[in-house]
Amino acid sequence: MQDLLMQFLSNTGFALADYRHFIMIGIGMLFIYLGIAKHYEPLLLVPIGFGILLGNIPVFKGLGLGIYEDNSVLHYLYFGVTSGIYPPLIFMGIGAMTDFSTMLARPMLMLLGAAAQMGIFLTFLGALALGFAPNEAASIGIIGGADGPTAIFLTAKLAPKLIGPIAVAAYSYMALVPVIQPPIMKLLTTRKERLIKMEEPRIVSKREKIIFPIVGFLLCCFLAPAALPLLGMLFFGNLLKECVVCERLALTARNSVIDTVTILLGATVGASTQADVFLTPQSVGIFILGAVSFGVATASGLIFAKIMNLFLRTKINPLLGAAGVSAVPDSARVVQVVGQAEDPTNFLLMHAMAPNISGVIGSAIGAGVLWSFMMN
Amino acid sequence: MPVDVNVLKTISIFEDICEANLHKLSSIICPLRVCEEEMLTRRGIPATNLYIVTSGNFMAFFKGGQSVTLHNKGDVIGWSSIITPFRYKGSSVALTDGEVLCIPSRKLLRLVRENSELATKLIQKINTVIQNRLPFVNGQPVVENETVRHAA
Amino acid sequence: MLGFEAIIAHNGFAMAALGISIVFSGLAVLSFAISRLYKALVLWDNRHETVKRIRNTLTSSRVRGPRIIVERSDEDQEETVRLYHMLADTLEKPFALPAFLELAVNRGLCHPYSTVNDLIKQGYIQPDGKGFYCWKC
């Protein structure tokens, strides 16, 4: 009996735990706290936080319990991440809930989304300089696209071992967009520029909204075929929404599908962040580069907007450049808040959605481009 | 895209509601731009959305030709979406370009069922609107000083 | 290998430059296509309306009230008020606002909805409290 008891106790988490498990559990609890108490991206941080708890309970290897063990439930659920299934489904839901009309009304603002994607490639260079392998550097660079599903999709293809720290970094910084962006926005713009009011956009017809996803998909995927899974699903979801006759499918895509996939993705990505992978000097480098990438992306968008104003007769508010960082709709909201702090009557939110959405498209194209470079 | 919470705070119908509930409401409410002559509701069709005016001018008109014009921020259109049989009792049209907040009634009712504060405060305010417009509905006789005029 | 050496060894600068160019070009082409799309649709719409107008002129036998073509402007406000007063006089007092609007639309008046809104705000058209309206009741 004593032997049985000792055997049982030696298999409990208490016997198997070391300090690193407790650090990760603390991080998981912090994420849950930030999500619930502070409302920082709760739909992402709560599943990821609990996933971290799931993945860092010390278990005896070989029992088929851990996420990296074959035949475990978590491993099967994680398959959707490693095989790149979940991110395109999320993109389909995003397409089904996004109104592209602000972008269609003022196509020029799409260039701000393009400019903000410089954050991806400059971070890629930074990661190479720090000694990361090219495929790892590409996965780290995509954090600068500020798009969680895109980051997970590319990392699953190029550097699956880094999914945990990269996903956590990407989603953490997306949640911190309201903290990271405003100081950069105020630093790089003058008060006079922040006060610029945008012209009312034109009304976009239903036909344009229906034709756009088809035209957009064909153009983008002919240019960057590697972006097909993400952009294809994004535009497909949007077509379901706009064509009206498939409202039931669009409703499912933007509710049940995206919610289900977000739960599974968040929990399994969190569970994959195990201490031996996460608590390494590499992860510290990833986090630092992630913060830098967000800053660079914001700055690129802002500076490009100011350059555009040199050539435009009707000036645009350069704050819109910050919305090119594709954390939809948080960065657009940040632009609204910063703009309204200067002038409460200045409503920039709908205008900021245009670069915001084009940033999503741009980051998917960027991911496709990096993937095709690494495949060669 | 969901409306900003700060916009909701400026509307009288939401003024007594706490921050947490405003956040829940903001996640289901979408701003909608309308232009002159655009119809928001049609009498008889299933009532799926409730609209709150944020800017612009609107007219709601009913079976007997009676109508009411709405010019103020916070005016409500489409209250039938939260009352059985969930069919619009009147039609409404934009007299000028403007913006409304669109609230899908199914989501609103779900939220209200889960939250008693919202149920008390919000629905109470919408009830006031309903009572003011009810005499115009169904071409009911409008009685004033013993003179009955049938609006149909 | 670290720093610039690492970047050069892995062809980093070329990949970054090409990548940024491709992303930028892609979105620029998409932006251009969207701006042309709108114009193409407008052109297509106008073609139908032109054909319809020609057909209507040749075949229409519908009796209409006299078409009044008035451009709204501040200088012509008095004229606008006079025209709408004339229309109001043709209706039973008090009148239903939707019927009044329909009349204004049939007469071909420009922007009847916003004009009626302005007349209400300026007090020319007043509600009678029972859902109907009259001209300066």
Better pLDDT: A19 or B152:
A19
In a domain, B146, yes or no: no
Residue C12 is part of which domain span? 3-59
pLDDT of residue B134: 66
Query: What percent of chain C is predicted at pLDDT more than 70?
Result: 84
A140 within some domain = yes
pLDDT at C64 over 60: no
Assess if residue B23 is contained within a domain.
Answer: yes
Round the CA-based radius of gyration of chain A to a whole number and report it: 22
Say whether pLDDT at A132 is over 70. Answer: yes
Residue at C81 is within a domain: yes
> Angle A192-A197-A202 (CA atoms, 0-180°, nearest 5)?
155
How far apart are the CA of B140 and the nearest CA of chain C, in angstroms? 11
Question: In this predicted structure, what is the pLDDT of residue C69?
Answer: 52
Q: Are residues C52 and C81 in the same domain?
A: no
In sequence order, the 6+-apart residues with CB closer than 8 A to the CB of A282 are A132, A162, A165
B150: in domain: no
Asked if residue C53 and residue C101 are part of one domain, the reply reads no
The domain tally of chain A equals 1
Specify the number of domains making up chain B: 1
Looking at the fold, whether C89 and C131 belong to one and the same domain comes out as yes
Is the pTM higher than 0.90? no
| Nearest CA distance, B29 vs chain A (angstrom) | 13
Give the full edge-to-edge strand order of the sheet including B39-41: B39-41, B91-94, B58-61, B67-70
Q: Does residue A67 lie in a domain region?
A: no
The reply to whether A349 touches chain B by the CB within 8 Å rule is yes
pLDDT digits (tens, 9 = 90+) for C25-52: 999 999 999 999 888 887 787 777 767 7
Q: State how far residue B96 is from chain C, nearest Cα, in angstroms.
A: 5
pLDDT score of B142 more than 50: no
What pLDDT, in 10s, does the model give residues B67-121? 999 998 888 898 888 877 788 888 999 999 999 999 998 888 888 777 777 777 7
Beta bridge partners of B143: B148
pLDDT at position A41 is 79
Contact C113 B37 (CB under 8 A): yes
Using CA atoms, how far residue B110 sits from A247, B9, B105, in Å, is 20, 21, 8
How many beta-carbon contacts under 8 Å exist across A and B? Answer: 16
Q: Is residue A300 part of a domain?
A: yes
The whole-chain average pLDDT of chain B stands at 80
SS3 B87: strand
Per the prediction, chain A carries an average pLDDT of 88
What residues in C contact B64, CB-CB < 8 Å? 96, 131
ipTM surpassing 0.85: no
Residue given tokens 């899908």 in the structure block: B104
Contact between chains at B1 and A336 (C-beta distance less than 8 A): no
Higher pLDDT pick, A369 / A69: A369
Give the range of the structural domain holding residue A106, as residue numbers without chain letter: 74-375
In this complex, do A219 and C30 lie within 8 Å of one another by their Cβ atoms? yes
Residue C20: which of A121, A219, A361 has the nearest Cβ?
A: A121
For residues C55 and C79, state if they share a domain.
Answer: no
Query: CA nearest C20: which of A366, B29, A273?
Result: A366
Same domain assignment for residues C43 and C87: no
Residue C17 sits in the same domain as residue C55: yes
Per residue in A255-308, pLDDT (tens digit) is 999 999 999 999 998 898 888 778 888 888 888 888 889 999 999 999 999 999
- What percentage of chain B has pLDDT greater than the value 70? 86
Provide the sign of the torsion angle of the four alpha carbons A25, A27, A31, A34, taken in this order: positive
Q: Is residue B142 part of a domain?
A: no
Q: What angle do CA A110, A359, B30 make, to 5 degrees?
A: 90
Q: Is residue A229 part of a domain?
A: yes
- A135/chain C closest Cα distance in angstroms: 10
pLDDT band at C108 (very low <50, low <70, confident <90, very high): confident
Between chains, do C97 and B95 touch, taking CB under 8 Å as contact?
no
Residues paired with residue B67 on neighbouring β-strands, in sequence order: B61
Is residue C68 situated within a structural domain? Answer: no
**Cβ–Cβ of C41/A366 closer than 8 Å?**
no
Q: How far is CA A362 from CA A353, A368, C14, C20, in A?
A: 14, 10, 19, 10
Domain contains C85 = yes
Place of tokens 């350059």: A307
Q: C36 and C81: one domain? A: no
Interface test with B, best of A103, A203, A238 (most B CBs within 10 A): A203
Q: What is the CATH number of the domain that holds B71?
A: 2.60.120.10
Bigger pLDDT: B152 vs A103: A103
Nearest to A303 by CA among A320, A315, A291: A320
The DSSP result for A70-106, as a single string, is TT-HHHHHHHHHHTT-HHHHHHHHHHHH--THHHHH-
Q: Which of residues 81-120 of C touch B (CB under 8 A)?
A: 96-99, 101, 111, 113-114, 116-117, 120
Answer whether residue A29 shows pLDDT above 50.
yes
Q: Are the Cβ atoms of B4 and A333 closer than 8 angstroms?
A: yes
Residue B133 has pLDDT above 80, yes or no: no
Query: Would C26 be classed as within a structural domain?
Result: yes
* Spatial distance between the Cα atoms of C7 and A70, rounded to a whole number of angstroms: 37
Residues C1 and A127 sit within 8 Å (Cβ to Cβ) = no
Chain A neighbours, 3+ Cβ pairs < 8 A:
B, C
Domain extent at residue B14: 5-137
A17 in any annotated domain = no
- Domain annotation covers residue B149: no
The pLDDT value recorded for residue C67 is 55
Instruction: Return the structure tokens found at A314.
Output: 């009707």
Task: Write down the mean pLDDT value for chain C.
Answer: 82
Residue-wise pLDDT for A216-244, tens only, equals 999 989 988 888 999 999 999 999 998 88
In a domain, B94, yes or no: yes
Which residue has better confidence, C109 or A271? A271
pLDDT, tens digit, 9 for 90 and up, residues A133-150: 999 999 999 998 888 889
Residue range C90-102: mean pLDDT, rounded: 89
| Number of structural domains in chain C | 2
CB atoms within 10 A of CB B141: 12
Q: Is residue B151 part of a domain?
A: no
- The answer on pLDDT for B137 being more than 80 is no
